[in-house]
Chains A and B, each alone.
Chain A
Amino acid sequence: MADLAIDPRMELNPPLVQGGMTYADVTEKVAAITEQAPPKQWYIALAISMLLAGVLFASLGYLVATGIGVWGNNSPVGWGWDITNFVWWIGIGHAGTLISAILFLFRQRWRTSINRAAEAMTLFAVACAGIYPLFHTGRPWRAAYWLFPMPNEALNMWQNFRSPLMWDVFAVSTYATVSALFWYVGLIPDLATLRDRAKTRIRQVIFGIMSFGWRGGARQWRHYELAYLLLAGLSTPLVLSVHSIVSFDFATSVIPGWHTTIFPPYFVAGAIFSGFAMVVTLMVGARYLYNLQDLITIKHLENMCKVMLATGMMVGFAYGTEFFIAWYSANPFERYAFVNRAFGPYWWAYWSMIICNVVSPQFFWFKRFRTSIPVMFVLSIFINIGMWFERFVIIATSLHRDFLPSSWGYFSPTIIDISTFVGTMGLFMTLFLLFLRFLPAIAISEVKGVLHQQINDQKGMAH
């Protein structure tokens, strides 16, 4: 195989699986992670994550017992970090389904190594996001079921279907359900692999149940592929719809800075941008933790950097468009809202956003940076921060100064705002680390599909 390296086609398009892995190698590499004791770093990471998750639950307990007043929310800034974090987490949850569904439909085979983890990330991010719409309400014990169209005798009334928050409830819950299904369906063949390799009774039973009697027959594969394709088709519009609908929370309002038609595409681009950034952050970590350099190759990471560059340009374009329209509309409230964004009391948030979201991805024009792990890791973190600031800028700076200057105010977070947010990161990392430990983090069967093609290509070239 030594001569493969000089094949010009390979130079341009390096194999998706490297290190000359065989089918057995792939199985061994991925499945072994769940079967062996995890490295020491995993325990450390899990301990920290669980501690932070504990902080989350303590913060939420305090919040529910005391009231929204423990956060910094006020009048006029009715939404602060709560909805900022909600939108941020939902945005992060976008990459998984995008990678799985849209790239699957577009036959982007490089997705195979990263889709599983990205989908898991989606689920966990949506779980974190889902905390906020419930707990940001003044009376979560009521909101927990009053936001769902359940029959109720006492009030005998429906929800207000005109409210974008209602649309949110449906959009996010649908997205969470379909993402979970899609992820699980993808897991079934690999769960069967784990079942087959299981050495202990417990693993046999658990994976036996979880794999739904998968035997790997041709008929099962045929049904499976079809179901997967259908789910991919179902998920694809959801990727676009969820964040479009989340953006309606703002776009349908009357508040200058919120009331803009550009929001749906702009939010979707931003969501993909932040989602890919988070995938890169996590994959670089997982790759290092479990030595997965051959499966998650530089090519995967470079492709993701390209996506980030493209979506980063899109959000940058959106930022510019907003300013142009604010000027072009000749609406004094609109104009003030945007000038205030850039030069008002929250200027620091705005320029942090610009530097992180518009300036930092420009490095990805250069292959040198696109293929440098440290650079992309740092930049992905920058983008995560920048996208958080984007949501904060949209929510807080629009609210804090709207129409009547007499009502203007300022939002400052409290320690509970911070602990709740940091806590959701803890919850997210806890779930992700448990996922890495107990489930195949890379789609074994799909990688084998890529490997099959690769091996056949090599055979062809050997002739």
Chain B
Amino acid sequence: MSDLIQINPQGVTGQKYWRSLDALEHSPEFNRWVEREFQENASEMLESGSRRNLLKLMAASFGLAGATACRRPVETILPHAKGVETIVHGKPVHYATAFSTGGAATGLIVQCHDGRPTKVEGNPRHPYALGATNAHAQALVLGLYDPDRAKLVHKGAARSSWDEFFGWALKSLTAEAAGDGAGVRILAERSSSPTLESVKGEWAKKFPAAQWVEYDAVTFDNPRAGAEMAFGQPLEPHYQFDKADVVLALDADFLGLDSTSVLPIKQFSSRRRVETPESGMNRLYAAESNYTLTGAMADHRVRVRASEIGSLALALARELNVSGAELKVLGNTSGNSQKFIAAVARDLAAHRGRCVVVAGPRQPAPVHALVALINQALGNIGATVVYTRPVVANPTSSLAQVQQLTEDLNSGKVKTLIILGGNPVYALPGGLAFGEAMKKAGATIALTAEENETWHAAEWRLPETHPFEAWGDARALNGLASIQQPLIAPLYDGKSALEVASALVRGERPSGHDLVKAHWSAQWGGEAVKRWQKALYDGFVEGTEFPVQSPSAAIPAVLAKVQEALKTPADGWEVVFFPSAATWDGRFANNAWMQEAPDPMTKLVWDNAALLSPASARELGVKDGDYLTISVNGREIKAPAMVQPGHADKSVSLSLGYGRAACGRVGQGVGHGVEPLRTVNGFTIAAGANVKRDGGKYKLVTTQEHHSMEGRAIVLEAALATYREHPDHFEHMVHSPPRVSMYSGFDYSQGYQWGMAIDLTSCIGCNACVVACQSENNIAVVGKDQVFRGREMHWIRMDRYYTGSEEDPQVVTQPMACQQCENAPCESVCPVAATVHSPEGLNDMAYNRCVGTRYCANNCPYKVRRFNFLNYHKGIEETTKMVFNPDVTVRMRGVMEKCTYCVQRIQEKKIDAKAQGRRTLADGEVVSACQQVCPADAIAFGNINDPESRVSKLKAQQRDYELLEELNTRPRTTYLAKLRNPNPELA
């Protein structure tokens, strides 16, 4: 199979290559051969699981085992006759590319080993990545090798070819063109691609009546619609958290799922670096219904139902006297939140021009307009909030357009529906019944990345390329364009949306490369070659940012409109839809890394749940895993309940992206689909819901079952003021006996001594490090059942503890990986010396020597060692094997593994330095995978013998502490105690 995967009838050079006549003709036999995982008859026998068949197979296997000696497999090796200058086998190369969320791009650097993309990093030069990524971007590389991707063109269930498709499509569209394309509708995902924009222009010219609709299941339209309401034009707000001393987040998880990039985390955490007790620190207030990462970072958090955020914002506006006139009161803000609003208002007013109020994209447009007015009144616009024109087309109306499209479909107006990417049949609100409506189109064409719900509903089914396989471009939120550069030729017979769209309108089939290059070259004129190369190298096109605007609104007029639009929140239950931290809107459902990454707050894996407050759960009489029936507007779903401490009462939070009916083997049927509950009016927040207990129970599996620190000194935390007053505060929080040893110990004063410092003040617990580590270190995915048995393999465990009351707890997070103890308890107990210390202070694990007594794991006080209880790589597909990092051993069953401080990266840099004739590594040269990806820059790694290294400087701070230091393990990883900056008024 592996020699066949690069089927690329039209390679990037535009030439059509073929391997055999069958391949050339795309004969059915050939296509079947490509599609089959195993050869003819190889898997059918297993399908009937009878004893006789099994015995036959076993006998045959034995026979064949002997037969292998008879003939060697035919293998053709084609070495380079001469070395190619740029290729050194085993030496990875890196390419810049881009990846979009909600139409907004982030710059990536992808590592390739011998032509295989293996690891994703943030592009350090790209202003929206600054070297970091989120967890989803890390998981892209696994998605590339997903064996369940759509591979070949199908017409109905029968195999077809691109030739056949284009032959049919062009004929059919020409028939339309006799008219003006009135019956043609294109439904695409949100895109900011300038090249696609120009192709859309061609469409508009050729088929002026054809409609191009873009949508996203996770909407970012509301902030733009709010800006339109306030300033008269749809604008994209840019909050500059690095300039804000005080931040108020209104149902805005800007540090988590409500951002399309990691920039807000970068900006926010830059204000949480407390180098000395005198350092300043920003202050974050959060009002939200669900407990999000932003709420966890907040210095003060109030739980408010999402539908009451508007009235809270209005109360704040009143408190701040935004308009000078009296504002109406909506609902009754309880005493607690009244006190909160008063204190926040005073704090904001005291930081005019240095504060920011931000509302989440779930909130309706009037709330965003109101927030814009508050920011304007506080003098923040132009200072901490700026606006640009949006990077997407139709920036505020995607939902309305999709609704219109559905109506057109239902009324039979649509002759040809072309779906370019995405999965609308699954992801669009159930209330639209898009899947039903789609059947009424004359012809349906779906270009999808996997054989999903939409694929199966369409007549023509086209495989889409992965972003790492196709040329394209995209804009970051501020307009900065990036070229999306492929890393590998398409593994299957896929094409990108750009290629299909242009082929359909032009009648010829230009390659993505030619399209993108032509688009940009046209603008660059004589400098085209140079600038093209520079854009590819940098990962973005210089000077393409949109101009920054600081609009101003007529406050009283807008406020009147806002007051009119804001409704008194309805009593009773509300349902709030969130993107999933794992599957986003379902697009990562077949990505095992994401499914197994524990939800940052609930620690739930391989599932979603209906989150509700402890009081609400008591009221309904449900515990974790009890089924709930949730109905809104006559639509109903069943989902298991899960108690989320700190959740607002009478509110249910649901994660999108689960319950996929057609997906790959990983994600199919995982979790409970909540999309059927969504309607156009209740797209993000649906009031007037009915929630009741249903019979039955469901098994929810989490990676952490105990949520209290039991009064132990695990995450040390204090207020900034306390730390200022007593810089030695944390030294007194742990009582440890004199740490003496009978032995003289090893002399660690020479050479490199690796160490790590993790700043808990800036760590937001986002999971990016967990997935980055998984990608870098070939960590196995074990599945829900094995996680239930306590056998997850992640080398980094993102610990999350609640402190305070169950109703209103605070949250602290702590990334927990091997602490690389100098006095490692694991080392002394291993009978075969499989885990030993290196002279550089690393606790090395020799997998080859390990016999798997698990004694080391038992004796690890941090419980960070992971054991291969089963062969977790069993049955892994050939394609998926390509994701492995060749610099890291893939562990077999029966051996122990754990964090190595990315020893392969240390070695690589040492070899590089040696090759360059250097004796020493500079600080920051060796970067561990978790450190590299961390958007909050919470992790420092380096040589602790160098007093000038960043890690040494962090460790020199007085809030640096060793976890469980009383055990005298002398860990090399230390933590910097968590500081919060509470408002004394609210304390």
Contact = CB atoms under 8 A, between A and B. Distances in A.
Interface of A: 66-70, 72-79, 136-140, 142-143, 146-147, 155, 157-160, 162-166, 169, 249, 252-255, 332-333, 336, 399, 401-410
B867 A138 contact: yes
B706 interface: yes
Contacts of A402: 861, 863
A302 to B, nearest CB: 41
Contact of B855 (A67, A76, A163, A407): A163
A78 B858 contact: yes
A253 B825 contact: yes
B859 A403 contact: no
Contact of A405 (B709, B825, B849, B861): B709
Contact of A138 (B712, B800, B814, B852): B852
Given A68-B867, A163-B830, A166-B831, A406 B851 contact: no
B862 interface: yes
A255 B855 CA distance: 11
Given A75-B863, A138-B893, A406-B706, A157 B825 contact: no
Nearest to A140: B851
16 contacts: A73-B854, A138-B850, A138-B853, A142-B851, A143-B853, A160-B830, A165-B829, A165-B831, A399-B858, A402-B861, A402-B863, A404-B862, A406-B706, A406-B797, A406-B799, A410-B790
Contacts of A136: 853-854
Nearest to A155: B849
A68 B852 contact: yes
Given A147-B832, A406-B800, A255 B859 contact: yes
A139 B869 CA distance: 10
Interface residues of B, number: 57
Contacts of A155: 849
B790 A160 contact: no
Interface string B855-898: 10111011101111111000000000000000000001111100
Nearest to B893: A67
B612 to A, nearest CB: 23
B862 A403 contact: yes
Nearest to B825: A254
B863 A404 contact: yes
B616 interface: no
Nearest to B709: A405
| Smallest CB-CB A-B distances: 5 pairs | A138-B852, A138-B894, A74-B790, A69-B869, A78-B854
A403 B797 contact: no
B833 A159 contact: yes
B851 A143 contact: yes
B828 interface: yes
A75 B867 contact: yes
Contacts of A408: 705-706
Contact of B866 (A75, A164, A255, A405): A75
Contact of B710 (A137, A249, A405): A405
Nearest to B895: A138
A253 B859 contact: yes
Nearest to A409: B790
Interface of B: 704-712, 714, 786, 789-792, 797, 799-801, 814, 816, 825, 827-833, 849-855, 857-859, 861-863, 865-871, 892-896, 964, 967, 969
A166 B855 CA distance: 11
Contacts of B857: 75-76, 78
Contacts of B709: 405
Contacts of A146: 832, 849, 851
A344 to B, nearest CB: 11
Contact of B870 (A66, A158, A409): A66
B966 to A, nearest CB: 8
Contacts of B830: 160, 163, 165
A68 B869 contact: yes
B816 A404 contact: yes
Given A403-B861, A405-B710, A160 B832 contact: yes
Given A69-B870, A138-B852, A406-B704, A158 B786 contact: no
Nearest to A403: B861
A159 B831 CA distance: 6
Contacts of B832: 143, 146-147, 159-160
Given A165-B855, A253-B858, A255-B858, A407 B895 contact: no
Nearest to A76: B863
Contact of A74 (B704, B789, B862): B789
Contact of A79 (B789, B799, B854): B854
Contact of B851 (A74, A137, A249): A137
A69 B791 contact: yes
Nearest to A134: B851
Contacts of B862: 403-404, 407
Given A139-B850, A166-B831, A405-B708, 20 more contacts: A66-B870, A78-B854, A78-B858, A78-B867, A136-B853, A138-B895, A139-B852, A139-B894, A139-B895, A147-B832, A157-B849, A254-B825, A254-B861, A255-B859, A332-B712, A402-B861, A404-B863, A405-B801, A406-B816, A407-B799
Contacts of A73: 854, 869
A84 to B, nearest CB: 13
Nearest to B868: A138
A302 B482 CA distance: 89
B854 A138 contact: yes
Contacts of A140: 851
Contacts of B854: 68, 73, 78-79, 136, 138
B858 A67 contact: no
A136 B869 CA distance: 11
A402 B855 CA distance: 14
A279 to B, nearest CB: 31
Nearest to B967: A254
Contacts of A77: 790
B829 A252 contact: yes
Contacts of B859: 253-255
Nearest to B871: A67
A325 to B, nearest CB: 16
Nearest to B859: A253
A137 B852 contact: yes
Nearest to B823: A254
A6 to B, nearest CB: 62
Contact of B790 (A76, A143, A404): A76
